[in-house]
A and B are shown apart, each in its own frame.
Chain A
Amino acid sequence: MIYDPPETAPLHEDRLGGDSLPGLYVHIPFCVSKCPYCGFYSVTDLSRIPAYLTALRREMDLCRRWVECFDTLYIGGGTPSVLPAEELEGLITALRGTFTIAAGAEITVETNPADITPGLLAELRRAGVNRLNIGVQAFDDATLAFLGRRHSSSQAVAAVQLARETGFPNIGLDLIYGLPPSSISAWLAALDKAVGLAPDHISCYQLTPEAGTPLAERCRLGEIILPGESLQADLFLKTSEFLEEKGYIHYEVSNFARPGAESRHNSKYWDHTPYLGLGPGAHSFRGRERRWNHPSLPGYLKDLAAGRPPVEAAEVLTDGQLRLEALFLGLRTKRGIDLKDYRRRYRYDLLTKKGKTIASLAEQGLAEIRNGFLRPTRAGMAVADSLALI
């Protein structure tokens, strides 16, 4: 019999994070131009790239002993593809030199269709990138203009085809929905076009006004009116129905994949697997500590120039916080929460503590318990935030 400590015993850090190896994230905080909806940190002064890459190497050195081995690497941004192809390749090589990256690791790079050239893709393939994420966002030029994108619809289509020809085993598209005016039929047509390109992974993000962005300001002024909750719900549910019909599993609120093509890296964020984030604003997590870097490039560069870790702040999660995170993250996924595993890792028995609430959620068709997992239904995933507050 396995000794099961009581709920009052402190959580053991080594019990957190499941069984997979940690993930490594590298942030490239540069964009050719800023999109009005994007709340991520980036700068458009590309002349600072060399200084940044120097600082990044220093940060890598400082973190060299952070963990034994990673089995995913994700280069995101910003726009990583604004880096010259050889720099990107050089970066990946350097990362491999500093850290141990497991054989067969998932290596993702985010790209803008406008940057995609046969040369870049070939370089990335050579560097071992096996998952290419393409920021397609939309398939009509008016929408792309509204979103402030610098690529055209035809460039996006060509980029996906080129990636396919180059032989990337996992190609993912990012799409945005819920733009005004929003019609379900127009969105489904865009999804159909995406499916026609046969990607392995599709992320569908609902347009949300992020504080401090031009979009948020225009919403505040009433210049832009985003769809109401009812239409949002319809869009969300239709997206799910449509893509699942086409063989893409709705495995997380915003993410769809062919079976087996789920993002292994992103999944680590959702189950407390450790991850190391490098670059401005990047977050790292291990055990019960989460820390994050200075979100701005100058602050980041200054710290590293002085040989200091560019960490802005850190927090040590309480048991309650770990439980809440595991709950809300788990309920964003189709897999749901492994109740036995949850009890083991977080010393909290959802079934005995929240059985009545869960039963009522099941009755409302928002959640179900199957094979020991508490899973959101499709309708439940649409209200996952509230599910997490049970």
Chain B
Amino acid sequence: MNNIRNFSIIAHIDHGKSTLADRLIQYTGVVEDRNFQDQILDNMEIERERGITIKSQAVSLPYQAKDGRSYTLNLIDTPGHVDFTYEVSRSLASCEGVLLLIDAAQGVQAQTLANLYLAMEHDLAVIPVINKIDLPSADVERVIEQIDSELGLDPDTHLKCSAKAGIGIEDILEAVVERVPPPKGDPAAPLAALIFDAKYDSFRGTVIHCRIFAGTVKAGDIIRLMYNNATYRVEEVGRFLLQRQKRESLSAGDVGYIIAGVKTVSDVRTGDTITLDNRPCPKPLPGFKEVKPVVFASIYPIASDDYEDLAVSLEKFKLNDASFIYEKDSSAALGQGFRCGFLGLLHLDIVQERLEREYDLSIILSVPSVRYRFTLNDGTVLLVDNPAHYPDPASIAMSEEPYIRAAMMLPERYLGAVMKLCMEKRGVNSTLNYPNPGRAELAYEMPLAEVIFDFYDRFKSVTQGYGSFDYDLIEYRESNLILLDILVNGEKVDALSQIVHRERARARGLQACERLKEEIPRQMFKIAIQGAIGGEIVSRTTISPFRKDVIAKCYGGDITRKRKLLEKQKKGKKRMKMIGNVSIPQSAFLAVLKSDTE
């Protein structure tokens, strides 16, 4: 166990996390240079494109240290967005140390801090690493100063590197060996393994990624998942060397995988503890939370013929995304579809993009909603996450919406702007602390609905990226809620309806109309867009028609050129949903939630 080190790299976005991971992998020779590709741990196309990690990844790096001994350095990559905070915390819980990567030109940023706090919560050894030292704009001295003043870390402990140029890589590996403590735990004790991720493999079923804290597991063992007491026979265990590498057993301190005939990733829970059925550990490892979706939206195929394909794709998709849930749904305007639950708007965005890209589907998402609670006059309690199921207003005795506690860290100079934003988002009961001079810790209680829709983007923008933000659900609170409908050319589009706070209803209605006006392309006829509460129109806009679009010439016999142009337009139109005779683009459904202050 003394030759194992488990560590993670944490950093603000674009500070070079994936590049450093690539370099460590290359340096230790896990992958031959000719097989190398950038952002090697970001398997999904979408991860490479957006430069964010969505799924956790792990890789075991074999390293011959200067002390002459061989080590196994387990690098656990973590997702980087507030929607996935819990997944990050489980990955960090699997480590003993982190490399805290700081861009030499940009210095300490919001996520640098937020990630440092997370690491400290887990009592991890922190090695500050200044990256991009070869940039002309690098200011290493300033960053060293920040490590001291802003991070409160010993500035003498820092390392310097350029992941891109491959400078300082060996020093980092040496520091991991020397400064990250070896894992502890008794290989002979009852098995306790922390699940930090799970992936679906079409041949082997679910591949569970885990960190063994105590005991040993090998093929043939009967394991038990402590959350639901399900038992499975272990087929294979091993480590990750980019590909899976089978081993005899995994023991305390190891990071690796278990294949045990688990059918889908939904059968395992990130953060759950695996133990042996015949010799269980006394209690599960701490920190387990059941992740529940907080944002709901319906997915419809743009062409109703694609419904079956969508159903099959969702089933496949679900195999690899345990936090995604769905059930059948139908809409008067959009036809047959599915109601889905997501961890947040980024998660929703990613699911939509992956469905379109990996399953080649054209889909429409309805306006996202949180889950509201209505108590009716007869005492019935309804949980409503779909505005289409908003009960008859006359029958409602009490309306409630979920509240969260938002925890924010930010430089003091942005405090005024952030407080204004929180008030605008119906924030209450604020508390304010100054953990360090110049740095504010602000908490607010806010309706979840206000937070998940465009709060995060605006928070980032008012703090210029220097603020970090996290939230916890606290409780349902009574709220004056009503249903805002949107009518397009007089026809109600249920997928555009929202449940909103009464005081905000007019403003939201106006905002929705304005956004739709921007998103819906002009057509051959006038389009009227109206916001309505009950029977009352509260807002309206019109989109004027275009009057000329025909190209004067249709060259001689070259009909082909013109047809290709129209085919392209037709394809574009196919990506829009026809409601009545109006083509509404995909983007419109999400845009109605965006505020106009952006």
Which A residues have a C-beta under 8 Å from some C-beta of B? 25, 40, 76, 204-206, 208, 229-230, 232-233, 236, 253-254, 269-270, 275, 277, 281-285, 290, 292, 315, 321, 324-325, 328-329, 332, 356-357, 360-361, 364, 366, 379, 381-389
Contact = CB atoms under 8 A, between A and B. Distances in A.
B556 A385 contact: no
Contacts of A205: 552-553
Interface residues of B, number: 26
A229 to B, nearest CB: 5
B547 A229 contact: yes
Contacts of A315: 560
Given A283-B558, A292-B558, A386 B523 contact: yes
Contact of B581 (A281, A360, A382): A360
B557 interface: yes
10 contacts: A229-B546, A229-B548, A269-B556, A269-B557, A270-B554, A275-B557, A284-B557, A366-B525, A383-B547, A386-B546
Interface of B: 523-525, 546-560, 562-563, 566-567, 569-570, 573, 581
Contacts of B547: 229-230, 233, 379, 382-383
A381 B554 CA distance: 14
A137 to B, nearest CB: 13
Contacts of B525: 360, 364, 366
A254 B557 contact: no
Nearest to A382: B548
Contacts of B569: 385, 389
A283 B563 contact: no
Contacts of B558: 281, 283, 292
A208 B555 CA distance: 13
A382 B557 contact: no
Contact of B554 (A230, A329, A379, A386): A329
A281 to B, nearest CB: 8
Contact of B560 (A292, A361, A364): A292
A218 B97 CA distance: 61
Contacts of B549: 229, 382-386
Contacts of A282: 556-557
Given A364-B525, A385-B550, A277 B562 contact: no
Determine chain B's interface SS by DSSP, over half rule. loop
Contact of A383 (B550, B556, B566): B550
A208 B552 contact: yes
Contacts of B563: 321, 324-325, 328
B570 A389 contact: yes
A321 B562 CA distance: 12
Nearest to A365: B525
Given A284-B557, A332-B550, A386-B524, 5 more contacts: A229-B546, A277-B556, A292-B558, A321-B563, A381-B550
Contact of A324 (B523, B551, B552, B570): B570
Contacts of B524: 361, 364, 366, 383, 386-387
A76 B562 CA distance: 20
A232 B548 contact: yes
A296 to B, nearest CB: 15
Nearest to A357: B581
B26 to A, nearest CB: 45
Nearest to A359: B581
B557 A285 contact: yes
Contact of A332 (B546, B554, B573): B554
A389 B546 contact: no
Contacts of B551: 208, 385
B569 to A, nearest CB: 6
Most chain B CB within 10 A, of A205, A269, A270, A389, is at A389
A211 B563 CA distance: 17
Contacts of B567: 321, 324
Contacts of A76: 556
A254 B548 contact: no
Contacts of B523: 386
| Shortest beta-carbon contacts, A-B, top 5 | A283-B557, A233-B547, A233-B548, A206-B552, A384-B550
Given A324-B567, A389-B569, A389-B573, A290 B560 contact: yes
Nearest to B560: A290
A270 B549 CA distance: 19
A256 B547 CA distance: 20
A385 B581 contact: no
A32 to B, nearest CB: 21
